[in-house]
Each structure stands twice: as C-alpha cells, then as structure tokens.
Amino acid sequence: MELVIALSIGILFGSGIWLLLRPRTFQVIMGLMLMSYAVNLFIFVMGRLRVDSPPLTLGSGPPDPAAFADPLPQALVLTALVIGFATTALFLVVMIGSRGLTGTDHVDGEEPPR
C-alpha cells in the first residue's frame, strides 16, 4: 500500500509540475490543481497509513489510542483543501480576466513570435 500511495503522489506531483511549466494558462491551473491533490494526499499520509482505524469514535470506556488514526492531519487536509479551493477559484477569475484583456491564453499575455 505504501508503494502505491507513494507512486501516485509522485506521479500526480510530477505531472503537476510539468503542466505548471507549460505556456497556456489552462495548463498552469490544471498543474496547480494536480499538485494540490498530491500535497493533500501527502499531508493525509503523514498521519501514517492505517486500515480500519477511525479518527474519532464515541465508544464506552477509556479510549485506546492505538485503535485510532491520527485526526490532526485529516483536519489539516480539510483546511488546506478549503484554502486551495478558494485560491484556485481566484486564479481562475484572473485567468479569464487575462484572456479577456489580452486576447490570448498565453501566460505572458502575448503570443510568442513564430
């Protein structure tokens, strides 16, 4: 399981970086989104990979820490998700504005000379 997770994070992040360096704004935003998926997965995994252990339960008797997953990274992921979502939306608006004002979707605001 570790290998699968590690590989998928790596592939997501790598593709994200590649797209981020592309010249079209749409590719840039896709790249940023892929990178943020990878990062969110990464934060989640930092709470250690565990199967069948909920972050919180309401059982009777004294809780046993060994039975629970670490809830903190999950909370961090939630926060990071929300913030990432908002900033991506903002970037999208700027992108559209740039397209409208400059008439091109190139990141430099002008088509490169051919």
Partner 1 sequence: MSMDWTQHLIVLPVLLPLLCAALLIPVDERRHRLKFSINMASVAALLAIAIALIIRADGADGPQVYLVANWAAPFGITLLVDRLSAMMLLLTGILAGAALIYAAQRWSRIGVHFHSLFQFLLMGINGAFLTHDLFNLFVFFEVMLAASYGLVLHGYNAGRIRAGLEFIAVNLAASLVFLIGLALIYGASGTLNLSDLAQRVAHLGEIDLVLLKAGMAALAIAFLVKGAMWPLGFWLPTTYAAASPPVAAMLVLTTKMGVYAVLRVWTLVFSEAAGEASGFGYELLLYGGMVTIAFGAAGMLATDTAGRMAGYAAIISSGTLLAAIGYGNAQLVTAALYYLVASTIAVGTFMLLIELIERIRSPGAAVLALTVEAFAIEETPEEPIGVGIPAALAFLGLAFTGCALIITGLPPLAGFIGKFSLIHSLLGSGEAESIAGVAWVLIALLVFSGFAAIIALLRFGVRTFWAMGRVMPPRLQLTEAAPVGALLLIALVLTVSAGPAFEYLGRASEELHQTGRYVEAVLSAPTVPSPAYGREAM
Residues that bind partner 1 (CB under 8 A): 20, 25, 28, 32, 35-36, 39-40, 42-43, 45-48, 72-73, 76, 79-80, 83-84, 86-88, 90-91, 94-95, 97-98, 101-102, 107-109
Report the residue number, 28 or 69, with the smaller CB distance to partner 1.
Answer: 28
Are 17 and 35 a contacting pair, CB within 8 Å? yes
Report the residue number, 57 or 88, with the smaller CB distance to partner 1.
Answer: 88
To partner 1, the closest distance from the beta carbon of 23 in angstroms equals 12
Name the strand (E) or helix (H) holding 9: helix 2-20
With the C-alpha atoms ordered 57, 63, 66, 67, is the resulting torsion angle positive or negative?
Answer: negative
Report the residue number, 64 or 108, with the smaller CB distance to partner 1.
Answer: 108
To partner 1, the closest distance from the beta carbon of 15 in angstroms equals 14
**Of the candidates 38, 31, 29, which has an alpha carbon nearest to the alpha carbon of residue 11?**
38
